[in-house]
């Protein structure tokens, strides 16, 4: 929802997350500052994290 078309306002994000607008802005700045790679946002989702974890575990089993 938040990664959709990019038109979600900080106020709406704060309402969705049930946090203050300033906290939403701080979190947004942190995410943007660590996302230097175009595909970095994929691994910040639950699905992306699960895929990455599966890749690492399967690589360890394959090489062991």
pLDDT, one tens digit per residue, over 34-57 is: 767 777 777 778 888 899 899 999
Q: What is the mean pLDDT of residues 2-14?
A: 72
Q: Is the pTM of this model over 0.75?
A: no
Banded pLDDT at 58 (limits 50, 70, 90): very high
* pLDDT averaged over every residue in the chain: 82
CB 10 within 8 A of CB 21: yes
Angstrom distance (rounded) from CA 55 to CA 39: 16
């Amino acid at each position: 929802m938040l990664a959709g078309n990019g038109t979600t306002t900080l106020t709406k994000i704060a309402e969705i997350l049930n946090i203050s607008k300033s906290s939403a802005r701080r979190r947004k700045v942190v995410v943007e500052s660590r996302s230097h790679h175009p595909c970095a946002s994929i691994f910040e989702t639950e699905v992306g994290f699960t895929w990455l974890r599966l890749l690492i575990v399967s690589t360890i089993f394959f090489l062991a």
